[in-house]
Amino acid sequence: ELQLVESGGGLIQPGGSLRLSCAASGFTVSRYYMTWVRQAPGKGLQCVSVIYSAGNTYYTDSVKGRFTVSRDNSKNTLFLQMNSLRVDDTAVYYCARGEADYYYGLDVWGQGTAVTVSS
Amino acid sequence: DIVMTQSPLSLPVTPGEPASISCRSSQSLLHKNGYNYLDWYLQKPGQPPQLLISLGSTRASGVPDRFSGSGSGTDFTLEISGVEAEDVGIYYCMQALQPPRTFGQGTKVEIK
């Protein structure tokens, strides 16, 4: 079964750091486009970072220089290191799988992990 | 960034009746390979989004055939031929032509 399981969320003060994890099963993370998508309370969806199968990365402007996406192939796990957290980073963070050889959308999603940035 | 605009933002529906959601992009989503890089997702209450349609009109595995996608360039439509109670939730379009992938605001579908 294809599955993504996020962990690492929680309550953190502004300026703090968190590291989110996304453990994959049923497929190999390094072969796929993988993305982190967040959803602020009562709001829509926003792609915040991406790591392509080749290893190159992309970040939305609001998180550039603060967030770092990476993967550990031996653990088949995706990470999101979040530093200098701000109140407006509060959201549920989902990891999702995209394409490997050809495009077919974001077809596998985790259940999400909640991040609350508050003093 | 490519801006995605959905309408309506709220859609009360009667079970068994058809429903339609529009999505417009600020730039053409037609790739030189002939495909439109436009997806549709449904987020049911308390759940993560799930893929319904990719590349404008290709239903994802397991998606009922009452869901269909159409359109090209900058104008796209998701149609539900006969809404069922399990179809309630928020529908999002998403462009995948250029990074960052961007979503529409969402259309909340609820039963009348």
Q: Do A107 and B60 touch (CB under 8 A)?
A: yes
How high is the mean pLDDT of chain B?
Answer: 97
Query: In chain B, pLDDT over 90 holds for what percent of residues?
Result: 98
Pairing of strands A113-117, A10-12: parallel
Per residue in B50-67, pLDDT (tens digit) is 999 999 999 999 999 999
Q: Which residues of chain A make contact with B41, given a CB cutoff of 8 A?
A: 45, 106
Q: Count of A–B CB contacts within 8 Å?
A: 61
Residue appearing with tokens 């379009």: B93
Q: Closest Cα of chain B to A107: distance in Å?
A: 6
Per residue in B72-107, pLDDT (tens digit) is 999 999 999 999 999 999 999 999 999 899 999 999
C-alpha pair distances (Å), B66 with each of A96, B18, B103: 25, 9, 23
The token pair at A116 is 């609350």
Q: Do B60 and A47 touch (CB under 8 A)?
A: no
Q: Closest Cα of chain A to B101: distance in Å?
A: 6
Q: Which residues of chain A make contact with B37, given a CB cutoff of 8 A?
A: 103
| 3-state per-residue secondary structure call for chain A | CCEEEEECCEEECCCCCEEEEEEEECCCHHHCCEEEEEECCCCCEEEEEEECCCCCEEECHHHCCCEEEEEECCCCEEEEEECCCCHHHCEEEEEEECCCCCCCCCCEECCCEEEEECC
What whole-number distance in Å separates Cα of residue A77 and Cα of residue B31? 31
Say yes or no to pLDDT of A101 above 90. no
Residue B17 is predicted with a pLDDT of 97
Q: Which residues of chain A make contact with B3, given a CB cutoff of 8 A?
A: none
Query: In chain B, pLDDT over 70 holds for what percent of residues?
Result: 100
Helix (H) and strand (E) counts in chain B: 0, 11
The token pair at B59 is 């239903």
Count of beta carbons in the 10 Å neighbourhood of residue A105 = 23
Per residue in A19-63, pLDDT (tens digit) is 999 999 999 999 999 999 999 999 999 999 999 999 999 999 999
Q: Which residues of chain B make contact with A35, given a CB cutoff of 8 A?
A: 101
